[in-house]
Structure 1
């Protein structure tokens, strides 16, 4: 029997149902990558012998199951007993692995390795290549193929009405994120505050998108900067989280954000600009008399894009896509900070006296200047070093070892090297483009190809 959500209390209960005891906490890692033709460095189309669809069909031969909109193949899922997870398409064909909920970072890295092995084996046969970068080096929105998904058709029409860079976000950016659990409302509040305050630190550490149209714009994360002018009603670092915050306040925020769509019988119905409150009252103009289900509410929550997003888990959304080792480093960074109680308290203490103005400035400055951005009497590098030390402490406390007896701190090594250098990865790309690569932007593809 379908359960309908007819009041705010039911929406709050839906989110609260995500609470889990610590022994059931899991780690879900998602990462996007750009596919391209190595013959001419152009983006992959959906159709054709070297298209994205051909990649999806090839993965189906190894146990993935197709997910369709009508007759159109748009995603893959895998049964839990075979590893779980899904493979989905972003608007411009960015290929995303949404990993299964796993118990530790060792398992995450195994999952990442197995996925990339599958994809790259097929890519070699199909004449494709895949790279990790946060913003396409020299493509424009006009260059990008349009994936045949109803959600993206609606968003493509709506985005230009809500800011100047929404289409860039959809078609030209790629990210890596981790999804983490919480045990209670109070635990959720602490995790959200730490996540939102320190998201700019992750942006600086993983900054890997300095180019637009083949040129350095003087910023380290164009992907992050795009979000500053993308539908600001549903983006940002949510200053209210640092006030009197809980499930109800997040629900109020979500209800104030206009809808994008409703899905019925596999079809996307345009609901842009309409109110979920009206939906609960049975007054949604595109579905008169109908009331929302939990799936409708979950779909609406996925159309909110803050730097940390709450559903039945918390999504960390601040990092650019990058090299393979970053797919393990990002979850390790956040798990270390948030999955050990003592470390979580230290992280909360670290950010407790930051002002709203400082958090806003930090988000912008970290995307522009990376680790060199100023903060108080020091720099973002100083905060990154402190956060990385805390993360390491948290992972040591977890004491989860692999078959060789090594704990999860091994996955922080790429970040330790970045902190030691004092430079965000994007700075290295810019330097190499102007020196070793003599301005040849295609060298960026080759350097970042898996």
Structure 2
């Protein structure tokens, strides 16, 4: 179905991806995670897929598909490359452009079930790697070279590479090939609950960015920033990243998100060859809608695809996709998911979180433009989240947050290393499943 004019995008608020999350789903609210990690040859420590690495990402994905019962493989139509391995047990493995291995879970009602699923899936990854890979969960790849190649050259990643190379003063290539996150996905049902949860999440993002920082080593150097990954994402593409300027406390959140989305640059137009795709700054969705582009007009499917190419800190889907968190050490991966599932749990809980924020005299009006260090609110928020999970008898969640609080106190010690290579040697593991469960047993 073709879109006719700009007003159609405002109408899309009630149809594609945005309005449906406002109370049109029913059932039990659940949460899930997406975790990205770096992999290195266990003998040479070369990043997976590079010259001195025995395994490449295609071989690893193929092995997972072979050993996982009744797994299904997804292939890139244009190149024939394996892109995703869907597990019968729930969740899937895939790969990011720079060879980052990603695991995406199914959603679960209980953190205990989520943690069991993640641990079992990581065991599959360990079995597939057969001792040939070390794994590290860190917000940036500490030892990948500046010219880290495109290690999963599927068509969409080639298009993104061309787009970001057309703006070399931005950090799109670093985002694609060097960064890693753990992402919390949280269900919120009901219109009023959803609006409150969106606004609270938007406020919590700048308050917790430092709390969840874990990317101190980058391109064989120690970063000057508290989070190199967050610096990358802040300078990746201002039209599609960060927090949309008018979104917090908007009168109509879903339409404000749509208006922001139509002003973002387009990098994928279905049906055009790679060399004909728009470059950075060339085409906004709004311009495409009004004027067409190289004989094409956008459709409803084009709008859906475009929304999926936006990278805000909070992506609005049929759940809240919280994306600002650096990849954590494996033993702390559950903590941010436990945190956000707790503080967004109910209107009563959220009202108490709002009170904690107010009690710290945080200036919400200037929050999204401030460079202030909000560490003063970190422990009150962690402690409150722990108490919520304790009431819910979510033992794994409570343990993860208590362990994370200790980690925050010792984070600078954790980051100490003679150089980036030594940091990787000190913190890599053959057995991410065991590390993941370290504080949960």
Instruction: Identify the TM-score tier after normalising by the shorter chain.
Output: 0.7 to 0.9
Asked whether the 8 Å contact 2:33–2:184 carries over to 1, the reply is yes
* Residue aligned with 2:121, SS: helix
- For residue 72 of structure 1, what is the aligned residue in structure 2? 80
Corresponding residue number in structure 1 for 2:119: 113
Match of 1:10 in 2: 12
Distance 1:393 1:267, change over 3 A: farther
Whether the 8 Å CA contact 2:84–2:95 is kept in 1: the answer is no
Q: Secondary structure at the match of 1:319?
A: coil
Q: Which residue of structure 2 aligns with residue 327 of structure 1?
A: 333
Q: Does 1:383 align with 2:377?
A: yes
Equivalent residue for 1:368? Answer: none
The question of 1:304 aligning with 2:310 is answered yes
TM superposition shift of 1:280: 5.0
- Secondary structure at the aligned position of 2:269 is classed as strand
Q: Distance in 2 between matches of 1:345 and 1:418?
A: 27
Question: Do the aligned partners of 2:244 and 2:257 also contact (CA within 8 Å) in 1?
Answer: no
Match of 2:283 among 249, 252, 274: 274
Structure 1 residue 224, shift from structure 2 partner: 0.7
**Higher percent of residues as strand:** 1
Deviation (angstroms), 1:72: 2.1
Using the TM superposition, give the Cα deviation of residue 186 of structure 1 relative to its aligned residue in structure 2, in angstroms.
3.3
Q: Distance in 1 between matches of 2:264 and 2:145?
A: 29
Higher-helix-fraction structure: 1
Aligned residues: 413
Aligned-pair CA distance for 1:383: 0.6
The match for 2:60 is: 55
Give the TM-score taking structure 2 as reference length: 0.84
Matches of 2:260 and 2:420 in 1, distance apart? 45
Distance 1:383 1:161, change over 3 A: farther
What is residue 369 of structure 1 aligned with on the other side? none
The Cα offsets for residues 73-100 of structure 1, whole Å up to 9 and x where unpaired, read as: 2322436xx2332222111010111211
Q: Give, in whole Å, the separation in 1 of the partners of 2:420 and 2:31.
A: 39
1:339 and 2:333 are equivalent in the alignment: no
CA distance in 1, matches of 2:76, 2:283: 23
Equivalence map 1:147-158=2 (5 Å): 147-158=152-163
Structure 2: which 5+ runs fail to align?
Answer: 433-441
Structure-1 residue corresponding to 2:427: 447
Equivalents in 2 of 1:446, 1:257: separation in Å? 41
Q: Does the aligned pair in 2 maintain the 1:237–1:306 contact within 8 Å?
A: yes
SS at match of 2:325: strand
What's the RMSD between the two structures over aligned residues? 2.8
Indicate the SS of the match to 2:33: strand
Say which is worse superposed, 95-104 or 21-30, in terms of deviation.
Answer: 21-30
In structure 1, the residue corresponding to 2:363 is in which secondary structure? coil
The runs of 5 or more residues in structure 1 that have no matched partner are 366-372
Provide the secondary structure at the position in 2 that maps to 1:43. coil
Cα contact 1:205–1:418 (8 A) shared by 2: no
1:208 touches 1:322 (CA, 8 Å); kept in 2? Answer: yes
C-alpha distance in structure 1 between counterparts of 2:275 and 2:332, whole Å: 34
Label 1:400 to 1:269 Cα distance change in 2 as closer, same or farther (>3 A): farther
Alignment of 1:146 onto 2:151: yes
Deviation, structure 1 residue 335: 0.4
Alignment of 1:88 onto 2:90: no
Q: How does 1:168-179 map to 2 (within 5 A)?
A: 168-179=174-185
Aligned pair partner of 2:369 in 360, 363, 379: 360
The equivalent of 1:99 in structure 2 is: 105
Cα displacement string for residues 328-377 of structure 1 (whole angstroms, at most 9, x for unaligned residues):
11110000000222111222344466334333334xx6xxxxxxx3x4xx
Measure how far apart 1:234 and its partner are: 1.3
Aligned counterpart in structure 2 of residue 27 of structure 1, from 26, 31, 43: 31
Q: Do the aligned partners of residues 11 and 237 (structure 1) sit closer, same or farther apart at CA in structure 2, a change above 3 Å counting? A: closer
1:410 aligned to 2:419? Answer: no
Say whether the 8 Å CA contact 1:133–1:448 is kept in structure 2. no
Structure 2 Cα separation of the partners of residues 253 and 448 of structure 1: 40
| 1:49-74, Cα deviation, whole Å (9 max, x unpaired) | 61111111111111321111135223
Shift of residue 114 of structure 1?
1.1
2:48 matched residue in structure 1? 44
Q: Is the 8 A contact 2:202 2:248 kept in 1?
A: no
CA contact (8 A) 1:197 1:351 kept: no
